[in-house]
Amino acid sequence: MKKLFGLIGCPVHHSMSPLMHNDAFKQIGVAAYYHAFHVEKEHLQDAVQGMKALGIAGFNVTIPHKTTIIPLLDDIDETALQIGAVNTVVNENGRLIGYNTDGEGFVRALCEELNIELTGKHILLIGAGGAARGIYFSLASRKAACIDLCNRTVDKAKELINERKIPVLSRAYSLDEAQQLLGNYDIIINTTSVGMYPNVEEMPLSLTNLKKGTIVSDIIYNPLETMLLKEAKRCGAITQNGVGMFVYQGALAFEKWTGIFPDTNRMKQIVIEQLGGKRHVNR
């Protein structure tokens, strides 16, 4: 009998996860099927109980359930607890265990796609929302020289820094302040939704002070090349879009479910084809 995996979120109809995971199951020869379930907020508890009752082997969790699912699970991995969000659930002998692979997925994509180490690097994170939390936490263990945050609402960046208390120098800035300081950073990561379809002409901040050779990563993958990446490339930066993060968070979830780390290059091709574009890692 096929094992069943899935995704719960709202909306999920455009999700690329079913195609990506079903192909990966086929590649490793595991009899399994992955399905996206549209679950409204008020049905989350019933959905989680249903997953358990039906013996679903594992599932992903997306907006708006990443935080609210925590009290509904049997156990939460330490990292997911510290991030305060779950994107992957494993059914371990009838107990649902929550994990977070988003932040680690981003960091693996950054280091492996661009072949870099983060030791001693000066990093700026733009944004302080859900995605920034996981990324900030995962970057923390990589011995960067500093991980600064800037956000439209500066207090949220301050809160994240104070709450995390990671053993790395971190300062909170407004977007205007960060714009002036861009030349100080080796890596700049956009975690805001600014520039995402349909607002493709928008940028979270101006890149006037960007220095040549800086790495600029944008976790948005629709469009594949945001205005921020276009502008950064024009200034001589090394750029990366959000496909890598999406693929690696999925690959890490897949590994938790099957014990096998899938072919991320193949996953990337599938995602990019679905998005209707070419792979974009410019070096």
Which residues are annotated as catalytic?
Answer: 66
> Which region, judged by CB under 6 A, interacts with ligand NAP, from 34-42, 124-132, 230-238, 257-265?
124-132
Name the residue whose CB lies closest to ligand NAP.
129
Q: Please select the residue that binds ligand NAP; options are 99, 136, 137, 246, rule is CB under 6 A.
A: 246
Q: Please select the residue that binds ligand NAP; options are 18, 50, 84, 129, rule is CB under 6 A.
A: 129
d(CA 123, CA 137): 13
Question: Smallest distance from the beta carbon of 31 to ligand NAP, in angstroms?
Answer: 27
> Which region, judged by CB under 6 A, interacts with ligand NAP, from 23-31, 162-170, 179-187, 191-199?
191-199
Q: Please select the residue that binds ligand NAP; options are 16, 20, 86, 219, rule is CB under 6 A.
A: 219
**Residue 131 near ligand NAP by CB under 6 A:** yes
The residues near 102 (Cβ < 8 Å, ≥ 6 apart) are: 83, 85, 87, 131, 134, 135, 245, 249
- By beta-carbon proximity to ligand NAP, the closer residue of 30 and 200 is 200
Please list every residue from 151 through 190 that binds ligand NAP, using CB under 6 A.
151-153, 156
Q: Which residues bind ligand NAP (CB under 6 A)?
A: 102, 127-132, 151-153, 156, 191-194, 196, 204, 219-221, 242, 245-246, 249
